[in-house]
């Protein structure tokens, strides 16, 4: 039993490394923003679109990725997904043509789509129910480590060797992750395949269940609330935050990326703490509402009062990440509001809404920056956006989170007995 459990943990670690790896790749544009804009000769609108394309493909493939994992097993999907990530990065660094770079980001998003689903599936198949909550918390920690490595360490690496070489170093790590999963990852015997005669029936049932989810008002309300919470991560941490802090607070890229990276530390702590507290007091709706309101206040202070010290700004970003952990409560609340046989698909649906919205708002912030751009250019010919221009663009972030505060009041609350 001990040997079997050890093997289960080894398998879990290998898949979790894939989740960590793709997280580094997804957030990497935030620390090479000006480099990419100069290389591809693009403005903020086009930069937002370039970053967002990976999120679009990631979002749209959530449901298909779930089907593929169910049909072909985790091993085949993970190895194929890592290959797509590596291929996407190699295409991205080898071109100066924008549409080809977008193709690379699209393949990266495709490869990333199955990462969380695969870790979740391994946790379900290889561990007893009493260990799964801990494993989900560990999975979030792995994602946070990936995001942190895609922030300050990657920023330092970019400053030393350039953005292309930095991504190639990360790709080398991806090759190691592929080798480990190829050697270690195995599907359980009962999970290797489905009889081909049942394939069509399974898929029909899958999409019938999806239609039921789309009719659920509770799922839409919770999904839109989760979207507002996630925008703090998507807009600030994943793309525009480092550049904003550089211009608003006069920091260099490495210090700015270090400050913004506190969002990910807060996210890790908040995801674990808020979920634990919600199970303790049985008030998911209250915690979601308090968290979204706190995010509005914190985002407003950071964006519209750019006179904070480095330590205070770091703490504000930590709190933004902490309260963004309430997104996990939205997933929990949504799964509790429907028939439990839809729980997995509801998670995929909420994740799709959140990621699609995150991609859309990344682009819109870039478009607003270009609308208000004063015409200033840097020495490398890249557009320079002022503090005022960033503040006008980030109104979109603050107003959308405010909308989520109102939406949170309509989230259905289950009674304590359910928990």
DSSP string covering 299-325 = HHHHHH-----HHHHHHHHHHHHHHHT
Given a cut of 80, whether residue 255 has pLDDT beyond it is yes
Rounded Cα–Cα distance for residues 209 and 212 (Å): 5
Rounded Cα–Cα distance for residues 48 and 120 (Å): 30
Q: Which of 89-98, 247-256, 330-339, 345-354 has the lowest mean pLDDT?
A: 330-339
Rounded Cα–Cα distance for residues 316 and 295 (Å): 10
pLDDT for residue 135: 64
Rounded to two decimals, the pTM is 0.78
Domains of the chain: 1-184 (1.20.1250.20), 201-419 (1.20.1250.20)
For the CA atoms of 293, 280, 12, 172, what is the dihedral angle to 10 degrees? 20
| Mean pLDDT, range 22-30, rounded to an integer | 85
Residues forming beta bridges with residue 202, ordered by sequence position: none
Q: How far is CA 313 from CA 31, 324, 401, in A?
A: 18, 16, 20
The mean pLDDT value of the chain amounts to: 84
pLDDT for residue 414: 65
Closest CA to 119 of 102, 134, 104, 108: 134
pLDDT for residue 3: 46
CA 80 to chain CA mean position, Å? 20
Given a cut of 60, whether residue 415 has pLDDT beyond it is no
Is the separation of the CB atoms in 41 and 377 below 8 Å? Answer: no
Query: CB under 8 Å, gap of 24 or more: what pairs does 335-341 form?
Result: 336/284, 336/414, 336/418, 337/216, 337/218, 337/219, 337/222, 337/412, 337/414, 338/212, 338/213, 338/216, 338/218, 338/219, 341/209
Closest CA to 78 of 187, 171, 189: 187
Please tell me what DSSP assigns to residue 240: I
The percent helix, strand, coil of the chain (3-state, each to 5) is 85, 0, 15
Is the separation of the CB atoms in 253 and 242 below 8 Å? Answer: yes
For the segment 107-156, what is each residue's pLDDT rounded down to a tens digit? 999 999 888 878 877 877 777 655 555 566 677 677 777 777 667 788 88
Is the separation of the CB atoms in 406 and 385 below 8 Å? Answer: no
**Which phi and psi angles does 383 have, rounded to 5°?**
-60, 135
């Amino acid at each position: 039993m001990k040997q079997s459990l050890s093997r289960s943990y080894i398998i879990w670690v290998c898949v979790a490394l894939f989740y960590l790896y793709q997280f580094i790749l997804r957030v990497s544009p935030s620390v090479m923003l000006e480099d990419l804009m100069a290389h591809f000769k693009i403005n903020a609108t086009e930069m937002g679109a370039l970053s967002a394309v990976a999120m679009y493909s990631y979002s749209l493939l959530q449901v298909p990725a779930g089907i593929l994992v169910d049909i072909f097993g985790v091993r085949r999907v993970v190895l194929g997904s890592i290959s797509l990530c590596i291929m996407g990065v190699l295409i991205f660094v080898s071109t100066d043509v924008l549409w080809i770079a977008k193709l690379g980001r699209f393949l990266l998003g495709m490869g990333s789509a199955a990462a969380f689903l695969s870790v979740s599936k391994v946790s379900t198949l290889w561990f007893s129910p009493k260990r799964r909550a801990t494993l989900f918390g560990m999975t979030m920690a792995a994602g946070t480590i990936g995001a942190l490595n895609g922030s300050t360490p990657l920023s330092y690496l970019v400053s030393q060797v350039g953005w292309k070489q930095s991504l190639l170093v990360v790709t080398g790590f991806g090759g190691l992750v592929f080798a480990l999963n190829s050697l270690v990852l195995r599907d359980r015997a009962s999970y290797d395949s489905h009889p081909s005669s049942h394939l069509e029936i399974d898929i029909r049932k899958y999409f019938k269940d999806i239609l039921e989810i789309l009719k659920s008002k509770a799922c839409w309300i919770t999904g839109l609330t989760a979207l507002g919470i996630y925008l703090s991560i998507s807009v600030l941490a994943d793309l525009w935050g480092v550049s904003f802090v550089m211009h608003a607070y006069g920091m260099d890229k490495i210090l700015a990326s270090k400050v913004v990276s506190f969002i990910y530390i807060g996210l890790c702590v908040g995801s674990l703490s808020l979920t634990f507290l919600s199970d303790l007091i049985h008030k998911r709706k209250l915690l979601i509402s308090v968290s979204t309101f706190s995010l509005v206040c914190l985002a407003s202070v950071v964006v519209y009062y750019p006179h904070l010290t480095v330590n205070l700004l770091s703490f504000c970003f930590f709190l933004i990440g902490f309260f963004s952990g309430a997104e996990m409560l939205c997933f929990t609340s949504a799964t509790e509001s429907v028939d439990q046989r839809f729980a997995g698909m509801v998670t995929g649906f909420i994740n799709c809404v959140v990621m699609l919205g995150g991609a859309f708002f990344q682009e819109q912030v870039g478009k607003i920056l270009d609308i208000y751009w004063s015409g200033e250019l840097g020495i490398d010919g890249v557009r320079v956006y002022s503090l005022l221009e960033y503040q006008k663009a980030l109104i979109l972030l603050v107003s959308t989170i405010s909308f989520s505060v109102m939406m949170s009041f309509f989230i259905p609350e289950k009674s304590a007995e359910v928990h």
